Every structure is written in C-alpha cells, then in structure tokens.
C-alpha cells in the first residue's frame, strides 16, 4: 500500500495467514510473538505473546541474607541491573528503617540519570530506528521512502538534515551518521554512570544505607564535562524524532492505529528528593509525590492516583495462561500493610512461585510470564497496565500531576517543559512534551528522546546540589543499620523501560519471600484468568498493516515497530520462522474469485 492509496473501508473476505516471530529477545531469546494476519483486510486479527524461559529469582532468593538482595537481583538483567539494585536498596531501606545521607541520594540519582540517557539512546537510535531507517523503509514501504525524499525536514535548522529521507539514511545500521554517533554517546553516558555507581551494569558501589562512591569533586566535574558533550546530541535527537514521526502520520493516514491501545499507563516514580524521602511506608505517599518523576496510574487520560500506597495495595499477580500453580489457598506472608490496610493474597508480598512446565497451548497455558494487573477499586477491573515503553508513562503521569517544578523541568498539568543549557553548537533550548492524543507505537517512541532530555536536565540539578554539599563539607554517603528479625519492605522505581517494584519479607533475619516485578512482565504478560490480553497482545491484535509486501515477502515491520515501542528489554535479535507463513483459511467470493479487488 503506497502513500497515495486510501485504506479500504469495506471488508473483504479474509485471507488468514499464521506468522510468528520467535525469539524477539531481551539479551537472551525468550520473547515470541505469534499472530494471525488477515492480508485481505490488512490487519492483525490475533496475537499471543510468549516467553520460553523460567528465571526463578523469587525461588532461590528465599533463605538468603537480605543484604545480598541488591547484588543478586542486579543479575536479573544484563542491561538494567542497576535499576534492580536501586529498587532492591529502596525495599531494604524500608525494611531496615534506614535513610541514606542526602549526598548518597544525589549520587544514586546521577547514576540512574546516566543509565536512562545511555539505555534510551542506544535502544532508540541503534535498535528502534532500524525499523524506520532508509534501508528498512525501502524494503517495506518504497512509496513512503519516495515521499520522504521529496519532504523537507521542518526542524532541519536544528539537526542539519534537509529531507526526511536524509534523516532515515542517517539511521542506517553501521553506516548512518546518527547511528554511529549514538554509539559514541552511549559510551560517554556509560562512563558517567560508572563515575557514580562504579561498574556497568551491575553496580559495585550501591548498598542499602548509602553508597561506596568517593564523593570527590572530580567525580562530579568529570560527570558534568561528559554531560555537556552530549547535550546538543539530545536536542538534535528530539528534533529528528519529531520530524520522522510527524511525517509517518502524514504519509500514512491511519498510522495512529498501529500499536494503539486504551490509555492504561503505570509509572512507579524515579529520582528521590533527599529532603523528603525517609523510606517509611507510613509516609510513602508524601515522599512518593516528592519524586522528580511522579508516580501515577492513568486510565483513559485521567490520573486515577499518584499515591504510592494506593498503587502498592492495588497490585495483583494473576495466572491464567502462565505455567504456574496458584497460591491463593496458602497462608499469607502479609495480611496488613504498616498502615493497617488489608493486603490481597495475589499481592507480591504473598506470592509463591511454583513452576509447572507443560506444552504450550494458546487455548490454555502458553507463557512463563505471569500477568501483573492493577485492581481499580472504582470499577472492580483488573487493569492490564503498560509502561508506554517507560518514557510515555513517566511523562504522562508527571505532566498530569503537575508536581515537578525545578529550574530545569516543570510539569504544567498538560505537558512537561525541559530546559537544556547552551551546548557546543546549539543555544539554550526549552523542549515541551505535550500529552498526545493516543497511546500508540509512534508516541511510545517519540517520548523516549524527550525523556533522555528530561534525565539530562535533572542531572544538572543533581550535580549542582551534590557539588554544593561537597563544597560545604557534607560528604557523608552511608548510614549504618541493623537487619531486623522480622520486617517487610517495598521498593518502587522506574527501570529504563518502565515500572519496577521489589517486595521483601524478612523472617529470622533471612529472606522469607522476595518478588521483583520489572516492566517487561507487565508489558509481555499473556491473557490472565479473566481472558484479558497483555499489552503486547492488545496493542498488536487488531492493528492495521501498512507494509506494502504481501505474505510471500512479508517483513512484519509494523508488528515489530509496535513490540519494540515498548522497549522489550533490548530486542537485539529477531528471527522470523514458519517460512513464508502457513495459510490457515482463504475465503473468497465464488463469483469473482479470491483475487478480485
């Protein structure tokens, strides 16, 4: 289908083809997408998201010394391990009743800001944008590329490219200018991370109670010098992404439906305010709202809550289509939270993981991923929240909450304004991310460079405050503590790709129960016990197909764009199988034949 053809409004007899992509990996190949595609009507009619790997961290964490939790759980992921360490430390600090010194909080914030900048850049520019680059568009939508070659880039004065096709060419893998520059930026931002957290990606200097980073002035000035080297790249990235994504809406009318689902977004918050946070559960609502990324749940555009206590109590872990035994008839670990609120048996504090390996059956059990849901007390629904790939939910909840008000970032109630200083070639710039009309593939991707800018801007504030403390002699970075005989804790953070929680139960000074929930289980969850599909499934199922290729040479680029828009833990290898697809049914009019237009 070219850019000049209107999408058909009348339904044709369906031509169903079974096509699958497995694996779509994180670092290892454990994510598969199985679809039924109607090529006659150019849409995906069914989708199942599967995971073929059982990890088992919640099983072997039991009995361990809780102080080891951060180091162990960082190995859950080979790209965002620091997010797990940070979140684990938050949970432990609640359980131990310890508050790190303010300078330690700034060091953690600086490390996490560098991680966001590193990961989002390498993912967006070296993985996501391969699906939008010249080579891919030429292979899947040559009509779109021809139009891109004739379309002036509206923000060319910022990024330096004359046409949309020029931008696409700059993202060609291994050859394009931006592709190669992004690799250099990812190296610099990783260096920034290591200055704060010691080692990437499994931090060597993060502990409950503080950090082991030596707070020397050079650590912060070295971080700042690197940050200023990438500031202009960040400004250009936002402009290039806006130009390309605006072009896709224009060139392919109806493309907003690709990856579109109901607005069901969750964000658990990031960047603690040292002046407010004390890690006590009883005050979690207060210090949660003081985070520099505001937690929240958005349903149909409405901010349902930004209270971390409410968010915590609404968590439910469902089974349905996953390979596990249920635990609801067992004795609970936690009956009430520290405020006296009842805790549901399907809450992570009470979960027990008992794997039951079996044959994959799309009518029954088909994935090792459980189905995290959030219980909406207003309606009684168990909501299949997604993270919008991380940035979309973070920006949306922060914008609606209107609580963040700093010299560099301001939430307005309908947008987020981000101010970046003068760089090597570009002047001081204020960017504004506005709440979009849709939660879809393009808006998930568009939000990512804006959040890189957000992280860079907040890093400037953290640096100023940290260096001010060092100059004032406030260099304490660790607070001692004792491990209690019994305690519970929960940590809420944002991994790069979205919501991250760790729930901890301590008995006899050992871990009695521990459940980490990263963003990908939320996004990649299968159908739950009520038959509700997970976000990948929901976003792909029903979406239109704009690729011009037919079944014989189909690349599935629109499907891949949708899955990757969620940032499924760095899908660095995708392999399609089942050959050219297996035709399930071909129904046609007996009068005109299957090929009648």
- From the list 217, 240, 101, the residue with the least C-alpha distance to 163 is 240
Tell me whether residue 422 is in a domain: yes
Tell me whether residue 538 is in a domain: yes
Sequence-distant (≥ 6) Cβ neighbours of residue 589 within 8 angstroms = 13, 596
- pLDDT of res. 58: 84
Tell me whether residue 92 is in a domain: no
**Three-state DSSP string of 127-166:** CHHHHHCHHHHHHHCHHHHHHHHHCECCCHHHHCCCEHHH
Tell me whether residue 141 is in a domain: yes
H/E segment holding residue 83: helix 81-96
- From the list 374, 497, 373, 401, the residue with the least C-alpha distance to 447 is 497
Q: What's the N-to-C CA distance of the chain in angstroms?
A: 13
Residue 572 marked as a ligand binder: yes
Tell me whether residue 399 is in a domain: yes
- pLDDT of res. 596: 34
- pLDDT of res. 8: 58
User: Could you tell me the residue range of the domain that residue 218 belongs to?
Assistant: 98-479+530-542
Residue 47 marked as a ligand binder: no
- pLDDT of res. 31: 85
CB 494 within 8 A of CB 500: yes
Residue 575 marked as a ligand binder: yes
- pLDDT of res. 24: 76
Output phi, psi for 478, to 5 deg.
Answer: -150, 140
Tell me whether residue 35 is in a domain: no
CB 208 within 8 A of CB 479: no
- pLDDT of res. 233: 98
- pLDDT of res. 25: 54
Residue 80 marked as a ligand binder: yes
- From the list 449, 448, 451, the residue with the least C-alpha distance to 238 is 449
Residue 87 marked as a ligand binder: no
Tell me whether residue 238 is in a domain: yes
Per-residue pLDDT for the chain (597 aa), expressed as one digit of tens each?
A: 333 345 556 889 999 999 999 887 544 567 899 999 999 999 999 999 998 878 788 888 899 999 999 999 998 887 889 999 999 999 999 999 999 999 999 999 999 999 999 999 999 999 999 999 999 999 999 999 999 999 999 999 999 999 999 999 999 999 999 999 999 999 999 999 999 999 998 999 999 999 999 999 999 999 999 999 999 999 999 999 999 999 999 999 999 999 999 999 999 999 999 999 999 999 999 999 999 999 999 999 999 999 999 999 999 999 999 999 999 999 999 999 999 999 999 999 999 999 999 999 999 999 999 999 999 999 999 999 999 999 999 999 999 999 999 999 999 999 999 999 999 999 999 999 999 999 999 999 999 999 999 999 999 999 999 999 999 999 999 999 999 999 999 999 999 999 999 999 999 999 999 999 999 899 999 999 999 999 999 999 999 999 999 999 999 999 999 999 999 973 323 334 445 666 665 443 333 333 333
CATH no. for residue 418? 1.10.645.10
Output phi, psi for 499, to 5 deg.
Answer: -55, 135
Tell me whether residue 450 is in a domain: yes
Number of domains, the chain:
1
């Amino acid at each position: 289908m070219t850019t000049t053809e209107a999408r058909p409004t009348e339904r044709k007899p369906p031509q169903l083809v079974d096509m699958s992509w497995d694996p779509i990996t994180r670092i290892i190949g454990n994510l598969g997408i199985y679809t039924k595609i109607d090529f006659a009507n150019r849409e995906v009619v069914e989708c199942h998201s599967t995971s073929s790997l059982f990890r088992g961290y919640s099983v072997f964490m039991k009995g361990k010394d809780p102080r080891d939790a951060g180091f162990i759980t960082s190995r859950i992921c080979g790209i965002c391990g620091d997010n797990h360490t940070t979140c684990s430390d938050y949970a432990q600090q609640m359980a131990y009743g310890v508050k790190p010194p303010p300078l330690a909080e700034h060091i953690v914030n600086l490390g996490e800001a560098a991680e966001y900048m590193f990961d989002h850049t390498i993912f967006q520019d070296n993985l996501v944008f391969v699906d939008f680059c010249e080579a891919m568009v030429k292979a899947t939508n040559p009509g779109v590329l021809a139009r891109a070659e004739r379309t002036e880039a509206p923000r060319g004065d910022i990024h330096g490219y004359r046409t949309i096709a020029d931008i696409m060419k700059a993202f060609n893998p291994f050859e394009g200018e931006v592709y190669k520059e992004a690799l250099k930026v990812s190296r610099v931002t990783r260096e920034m991370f290591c200055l704060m957290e010691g080692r990437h990606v499994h931090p060597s200097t993060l502990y409950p109670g503080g950090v082991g980073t030596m707070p020397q002035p050079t650590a912060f000035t070295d971080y700042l010098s690197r940050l200023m080297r990438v500031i202009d790249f960040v400004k250009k990235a936002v402009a290039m992404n806006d130009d390309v994504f605006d072009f896709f809406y224009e060139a392919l009318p109806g493309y907003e439906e690709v990856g579109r689902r109901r607005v069901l977004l969750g964000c658990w918050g990031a960047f603690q305010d040292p002046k407010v946070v004390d890690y006590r559960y009883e005050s979690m609502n207060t210090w949660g709202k003081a985070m520099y990324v505001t937690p929240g749940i958005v349903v149909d555009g409405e901010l349902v809550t930004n209270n971390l206590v409410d968010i915590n109590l609404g968590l439910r872990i469902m089974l349905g289509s996953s390979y596990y035994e249920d635990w609801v008839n067992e004795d609970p670990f936690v009956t009430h939270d520290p405020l006296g609120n009842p805790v549901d048996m399907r809450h992570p504090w009470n979960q027990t993981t008992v794997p039951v390996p079996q044959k994959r059956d799309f009518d029954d059990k088909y994935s090792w991923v459980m189905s995290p849901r959030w219980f909406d007390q207003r309606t009684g629904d168990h909501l299949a929240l997604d993270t919008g790939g991380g940035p979309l939910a973070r920006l949306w909840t922060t914008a609606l909450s209107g609580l963040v008000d700093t010299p560099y970032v301001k939430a307005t109630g309908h947008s987020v304004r981000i101010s970046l200083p003068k760089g090597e070639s570009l002047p001081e710039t204020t960017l504004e991310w506005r709440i979009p009309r849709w939660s879809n593939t393009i808006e998930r991707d568009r939000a990512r460079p804006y959040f890189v800018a957000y992280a860079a801007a907040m890093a400037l504030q953290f640096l100023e405050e940290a260096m001010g403390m060092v100059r004032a002699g406030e260099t304490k970075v660790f607070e001692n503590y004792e491990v209690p005989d019994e305690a519970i804790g929960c940590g809420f953070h944002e991994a790069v790709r979205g919501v991250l929680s760790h729930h901890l139960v301590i008995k006899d000074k050992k871990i009695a129960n521990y459940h980490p929930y990263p963003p990908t289980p939320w996004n990649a969850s299968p159908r739950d016990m009520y038959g509700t599909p997970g976000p990948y499934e929901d976003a792909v199922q029903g979406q239109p197909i704009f690729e011009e290729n037919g079944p014989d040479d189909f690349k599935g680029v629109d499907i891949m764009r949708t899955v990757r828009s969620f940032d499924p833990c760095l899908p660095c290898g995708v392999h399609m199988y089942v050959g050219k697809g297996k035709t399930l049914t071909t129904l046609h009019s007996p009068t005109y034949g299957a090929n009648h237009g």
